Structure 1
Amino acid sequence: MNRFIPRRWQRWINRRIPRSDVQLLTQKNLFILPTSAGVVFAMLLLLMLITGINYQNSLIYLVTFLLGAVFIGAMYQTHRTLAGLELTLVEAGEGFAGDDVLFHLRATAGKQDAVAVMLSADDTGVGIGHVPAGQSREVRLPVTSQSRGYLQPDRIRIETRFPFGLLKAWSWMRPVTAGIVFPRPVAAPETPGVAKERDQTTAATRSSDGNDHAQLRPWREGDLSQRVLWKRYARSGQMVVADWEADKGSPHWLDFDRFAGAKYELRLSHLCWLVVERGKSGARFGLSLPGQAIEPDAGPAHTVRCLRALATWGQQKPRDAVGLRHGTRQDPDAKASASIATGGGL
C-alpha cells in the first residue's frame, strides 16, 4: 500500500505532464498549496475566528476577514505569477561522471511578470529571479550525475512563492533531450608489453607486394569493408586493413583490449583519461571499441567525439516512457559481456 499510492501519483503526473523540451505553464499543469508558513497563518486565522465568535467582538471579525482576504489575494497572485510562463530546454549539457552537468534553459514570461522563480532538479537549484512580461531569461541548471551514459532528468521543477511566501505554485518540465556523461577519467597504467606486441604485429602485417607506404593492421569489428585487402585475404586467409600511410606518421590507437583483466567500466575510465591527455597535447590518435572504431585524428572536435563514444558505448537512449534518474546504465559488465563476446573478453 505504501508503494501503490506513490506509483499512482507518478503515473498521474506523467500523464498530465508528458515529456517535452518546451513546457507552457497553464491551469492544467500548475499546482498550488500553502507553505508551512501559510499553514500556520491559516491556523491563526481559524483561531481568531473562533475567538471572535466566542466573544462577539467586531474588531476581531474585521481583522480576521481582512487577513483572510489577503490570504486569498496571495493565492491568486501566486498562481498568476507562473501562469503563461514558457520553459524551453535550449541545450542538454555534457560532463564527467560525478560532476554537475549544466542544462541550458530559457524562461519566457507571458502577459504577466514572473517574479521570484526558482528551478531545481534533485537536490540542486538555481534562481531565475524576475522575468518581465514578454521577455526571456536564460539560466544554466546543474544536474548531478552519478554514472556515465545518458542523463535525462526525470523532472525539472519550476516554483514561486511570491508575494508573501504563504503559498507555493509549482509545475514540472520533463525534458526529452538527454545530456551525456563521460566516464570518470582514471590514470591508465603503463602497458609497454602490449604496445610492443602491437608494433610487432603491425610490422609482420606490412604488405610484401611492394606497398611499403601502407601500414596494415588486423581487421577490427566496425571497420569499413572497403578498406579490407580482399586479395590478401583470398591468398592467405588473413583479414587486414590499410590503416594509415607511413609518410603521415603512425597514430597511436587507444584500444579497449589494451587493459586486459580490468572491468569494462574501468577500461573506459582509462581510455577517457588517455583521450583527455591526447586532446591536451594535440596528438593524433584513434579509438577502438568493440563494435566501433574512430579513425585517427586530432583537435577538440575529435576529442569530444571520442568522449561521447566512451560515454554511450553499450547504452541506449532513454525512452520517453521510462524516466531514469541518473542515466540508463544498470549493470554494464553484465550487458557488455554479450556484446563483447566477439570482440575480446576479460
Structure 2
Amino acid sequence: MIPYNRINHVMARRAREVPLHPIKHKARQHWRRWLNRRIARTDSRRLDRKTIFILPTGAGAVFALLLLVMLITGINYQNSLIYLLTFLLGALFVAAMHQTHNNLSGLELAFLKPGDGFAGDPIPFRVRLQADHEAPAIVLFSGQTPGLTLSVPREELTDGTLLVTSRERGYLLPERVRVETRFPFGLLKAWSWLRPATPAVVFPRPLTPPHPAEGVSAADASEGTRPGQGQDQVELRPWREGDISARVDWKRFSRNGDMVVADWQGEQGSPRWLDYDGFPGIDQELRLSYLTALVLERDRAGDIFGLRLPGAVIAPDQGAGHRQQCLRALGTWGRTPPDEEPPHGC
C-alpha cells in the first residue's frame, strides 16, 4: 500500500510537469525574463516608480465606464449639471490613482528571517516594512496562501509573518512575493514584487516507521562488554570538536585543566544512532520521513542520539539545538541551495 504522503508527492510532481501551450509558455518566459531584469533577488528593497504597476480594479473599470456614459449623456443633452458631476467624479478617480500609487512609492520591505517547518505546512517568513509616509492597507502574499495585511505608520517599523505554502522537503524560496494596495477606494490596485534571496528549510513530513530500523548501532552492540553498574567510566579520551558537553569530565578539567571526554554508564545510557541505512529497500523520501519521526521521538524522550546520513554525520547530543540541526540535515540532504538566477534566465 502506497503511503498517503507519497501519493501527494507524486501528484504534485505530475501537476508541475503538465506542459503548457507553446505560445502561452513562450509568453510566460518573456514575461519572467523582463520582470527578473527589473527586480533582482534581494532580501530588502525600496519600491520606486519604476517597479510599481497600477491598473483599475473591476469596480474601477465599471466606474470609468460610468463616467464615459455620463460624459456622452452630458454632451448629448448639453446639461451643465451632468458635466459638473462627471468632472468631479473624474477628478476623484485621478486623485485616487495618485493616492494608490503613492501608498506604495517609497515603501521599504525586508525579509528578516525565513522560518522552517514540515513539508505540506505553511512556512513562515518574517518581514519588516517601513515608510516615510503613512501607508495603510498593504497586502503581501505568495501563491495561494492567505495574504498578510499591514498598515505602516509614518517612519515606524512594522513587522509581520508571511506564510508560504510548501510542497516537499528541501529549500523553499518564493519565486516572487506580491506587494499590493487598493487604498483608498478600491477603484485601482497598485502592486510590485519582492524576490527574496534567503531560502527557508522544509523538513520531511514525519512518518512513524512500521518496524524498527534494521541493524544494531555501535553503542548498542557494545552493551554486553560494558563494565558493571558500579563502574561509572568506561574510557577517557581527549576532547574533540563535536563532542557533547554532557560527556566532558568537568571535575578533572577543574583540577588540572585537561579536557577529556568520558563514556558514561549512567542513567541516560549510551548515545544511540539513527541511521539512513537502517531502512534498506525503502524509498529515499520515506527513509527521511521515518528518520524525522524518530528524531522527534528521541527528542521528546530526552535521549542522546546521533544521525548518520550518506555523506553527513551529526555527533550524538540532545536538546532543541541538536534536534533542529538534525531536522535541517534531513530536509536539505541531497538538495542544492537555490542560487540567484542568471540575467537571461526565466
TM-score higher than 0.5 here? yes
**One of 235, 245, 260 as aligned partner of 2:263:** 245
Give the aligned partner of residue 208 of structure 2.
Answer: 187
Give the aligned partner of residue 315 of structure 2.
Answer: 295
Distance in 2 between residues matched to 1:193 and 1:102, nearest whole Å: 36
Give the aligned partner of residue 219 of structure 1.
Answer: none
Give the aligned partner of residue 178 of structure 1.
Answer: 199
1:132-185 superposed Cα distances (whole Å, 9 cap, x missing partner): 111111000111101000000111111110010000011111000000000000
1:43 positional shift: 0.7
1:40-69 superposed Cα distances (whole Å, 9 cap, x missing partner): 111111111111112222111111111111
Q: 1:139 to 1:265 in 2, by over 3 A?
A: same
Distance in 1 between residues matched to 2:210 and 2:148, nearest whole Å: 44
Aligned pair 1:13/2:31, yes or no? no
1:1-346 to 2 correspondence within 5 Å?
1-110=23-132, 112-191=133-212, 194-195=215-216, 199-200=220-221, 202=222, 213=234, 245=263, 247=265, 249-321=269-341
Identity among equivalent positions (%) equals 51
Contact 1:91 1:103 (C-alpha < 8 Å) held by counterparts:
yes
1:203 positional shift: 7.3
1:245 positional shift: 2.7
Q: Alignment RMSD, CA only? A: 2.4
1:198-245 superposed Cα distances (whole Å, 9 cap, x missing partner): 845x57999xxxxx9369xxxxxxxx9xxxxxxxxxxxxxxxxxx983
Distance in 2 between residues matched to 1:301 and 1:177, nearest whole Å: 21
Contact 1:185 1:273 (C-alpha < 8 Å) held by counterparts:
yes
- The one-letter code matched in structure 2 to 1:245 is D
SS of residue in 1 equivalent to 2:306: strand
1:3 positional shift: 1.8
Distance in 2 between residues matched to 1:117 and 1:78, nearest whole Å: 10
TM-score (norm. length: structure 1):
0.79
Contact 1:92 1:103 (C-alpha < 8 Å) held by counterparts:
yes
Distance in 2 between residues matched to 1:65 and 1:244, nearest whole Å: 87
Q: 1:128 to 1:192 in 2, by over 3 A?
A: closer
Query: How many correspondences in the alignment?
Result: 290
Q: 1:109 to 1:161 in 2, by over 3 A?
A: same
Distance in 1 between residues matched to 2:169 and 2:212, nearest whole Å: 25
SS of residue in 2 equivalent to 1:278: helix
Distance in 2 between residues matched to 1:196 and 1:254, nearest whole Å: 8
- The one-letter code matched in structure 1 to 2:313 is A
Contact 1:128 1:137 (C-alpha < 8 Å) held by counterparts:
no
Contact 2:118 2:205 (C-alpha < 8 Å) held by counterparts:
yes
Q: 1:192 to 1:27 in 2, by over 3 A?
A: closer
SS of residue in 2 equivalent to 1:316: coil
1:246 positional shift: 5.5
